Every structure is written in structure tokens, then in C-alpha cells.
A = this chain, B = another copy of it.
Amino acid sequence: MELLSSTKTFGGWLKRYRHASTSVKGDMVFSIFLPPQAETKKVPVLYWLSGLTCTDENFTQKAGAFKKAAQLGLAIVCPDTSPRGTDYPNEHDSYDFGSGAGFYINATVEPYAQSYNMYDYVVDELPALISEHFRVNDKKSISGHSMGGHGALICALKNPNTYQSVSAFAPITNPTNCAWGKKVFTGYLGEDESSWQQWDATCLIQHATQRLELFVDQGDADDFLSKQLKPESLVKACFKNDHPINLRMQSGYDHSYYFIASFIDEHLDYHFDALK
């Protein structure tokens, strides 16, 4: 691993690394916040998955999460949102497909199948790397925003007993049924829609074997609410399958990091309670 930067903040350290990834067959960059407590003992880890067009830095710069994380003694790992360094057809043409839109799934359509394996990267490869190199314990939780909220939900639902807790801000809850999801699933998985369902939180609920609560904050002034995010689909599936969900509709809030910042401390408290 190559250390790109190391910045002191709130008595802890924010570090950025580049490393060769086997899952995505290329170099990846991630950021990790290590709270002061990590100087002397192993701390639990929250994985944060960002949204479309983001890198590891959107959360570290804008979420305002490190004061609370430093108080609690919680490490936060922020991966990038897609492989980088390739130049496939259409990979860099739009904000909602290809680079910056990895969608936390494993692609099966060539050429994306060669490297767009962000699910394997986030669920397996990155946590193994973090465990190997940092003073963290084996407890982890996961959260994210928008595309990353979708990612957090599917990672938790597909891996029972792996995460102590899961939360999401304005997640894409039903990607098989919205324009963003249809576009990337067609491009990464192909036209056969039956292959899409394993990457859709609303579809996965009916197969969930662990009753892990889904903690979701959603602004009601979010421009993407009705067309792309559709939390009502997830709620309906949870009710139907007796799966616990706490969806908090936040009055007046939009899709931005100003919304995330407003409630991130409550999410960190929620995760830390589960990680203790």
C-alpha cells in the first residue's frame, strides 16, 4: 500500500492509500479515519459507500463526521466508487454509468466484467486489507448515500451476520425499477432482468434470513425522491416480509451532503451502539 496523505483531524488521523486490487484488477484509492483510540487499542469500523460521481473524498471533506467518530472511537473507511484507469466504451460519457457509478455490484457483461467488481471489493477485499494493516477489531457496520445507500443495503442483506448494523441516507432502494438502476444493470448485467434482482434491496428483503433493522434517513425535498429513490418500495417489502425498518422522512432536506451532515452523528451513534 502506498500512503498518499496523512492529515491530523480531531486528534485522529485521516489517511489515504493507493493499493493494487485483485477484485477490480487495478489500483484503487481509499481513505480511512483512525480515531485517537486506535493508537492504543483495536477499534470497530464503519464502511461508508458514496454516491454517483463521488470518490473517497466527498465524505471525508463534507460529512463532518470525524468529531463524533473521534469521540466514540470509531474508524471510518471510505472506498472509491468505481474502478479507475480503464477506458471501456461509454465508461466516461455520463455521470450515471461507468466511472463514478460502480454501483457496488459484480458486472457480468464484457468488458465491464473484467474489472467492475465493486461488490467483491467492498465486501471482501477491502475489509481484509483493513484488518491486516490497521488497529481494528472484527466488528464492522456499513452505511452510504444514494447509490452508496443502495450499496450498504445490499451488502448487509446479502451477507447475514457480517455487519453489526446498516444505515443509509437517501438510498436507491429499488434499482430494478428506476432509471439509474435500469441503465447500469443493463450495462453491467445484461438484458435478462432476472439477474438484476440479487442486487436490489427491495427484492432481497424477501430472502433475508437475518432480521437486521434498516435505518434510513430520507429528505422530503430530495429532487430524486419519487423517480429514483422510492423508499416506499422498500417499506412495502419490509412490511410484507416482516423485516424491521426505520425510515425517517426528514422535512425540508434535499439530496446534498448538507443533509448527510445534519444527521450523520445520529447514524454514528446508532452504529457504535451495535458495534460495542
Listed in ascending order, the chain A residues whose CB lies under 8 Å from chain B are 7-11, 14, 61-62, 64, 66-67, 219, 221, 252-254, 256-259, 261-262, 265
Contacts and interface: CB of A to CB of B under 8 A. Distances in A.
Contact of A67 (B8, B219, B265): B265
Contacts of A67: 64, 261-262, 265
16 contacts: A8-B219, A8-B252, A8-B253, A8-B258, A8-B259, A10-B261, A10-B262, A11-B262, A14-B258, A61-B61, A61-B62, A62-B62, A64-B64, A66-B258, A67-B261, A67-B262
Chain A facing B: main interface SS: mixed
Contacts of A7: 254, 256, 258
Counting every copy of the chain, the complex holds 2
A221 to B, nearest CB: 7
B66 A261 contact: yes
Contacts of A252: 8
A222 to B, nearest CB: 11
A148 to B, nearest CB: 18
Nearest to A254: B7
Nearest to A64: B64
Contact of A9 (B10, B11, B61, B261): B261
Contacts of A61: 61-62, 257
Q: Which of A8, A14, A66, A265 has the most CB of B within 10 A?
A: A8
A7 B7 CA distance: 29
Nearest to A260: B9
A126 to B, nearest CB: 22
Nearest to A219: B8
Nearest to A13: B252
A48 B240 CA distance: 51
A8 B221 contact: yes
Contacts of A62: 61-62
